[in-house]
Amino acid sequence: MMKNLLICAVFMAMIVTGEALICNSCRVGFKGTCLFASTETCNNSQSKCYKGNLVFNITNMMSLHTRGCLSKDLCNYTEVGSLLTAGYTVTRDCCNTDYCNGATSVQLTLTAALGAVVTAVWSQLTF
């Protein structure tokens, strides 16, 4: 009987641990490139993945991006405010499956992209 109880406890622990949501994380991103990208496991108080976007209203060219875990109370709405008389708009779009908040894009420079192509072609050549 004790053995069955122990097996049930281990099984339940595996299920509860397996339910934690995993999100892409980016504390600060600029122009589609994330600085310090990673992943994070959400806890009970922050149970959703989100993609956030902050745009300064003076110019749409200046925007910051974030990703990570967020409380469901802060999801899927737009917030408007001002910082030192500069107006801004913040949107946070949430989802609830692993990695659903998208991978942060990494932009290669033209030189790096051409270098990768030349290396790939060169490695396929046989003499």
Question: Each residue of 12-63: pLDDT tens digit?
Answer: 444 444 578 999 999 889 877 888 899 999 999 999 999 999 998 887 667 8
Which domains occur in the chain, in start order? 22-116 (2.10.60.10)
**pLDDT, mean of residues 55-80:** 88
The more confident residue out of 40 and 108 is 40
Look up the pTM and report it. 0.63
What is the greatest pairwise CA distance in the chain? 70
Inform me whether the pLDDT recorded for 108 exceeds 50: no
Question: Each residue of 77-93: pLDDT tens digit?
Answer: 899 999 888 899 999 99
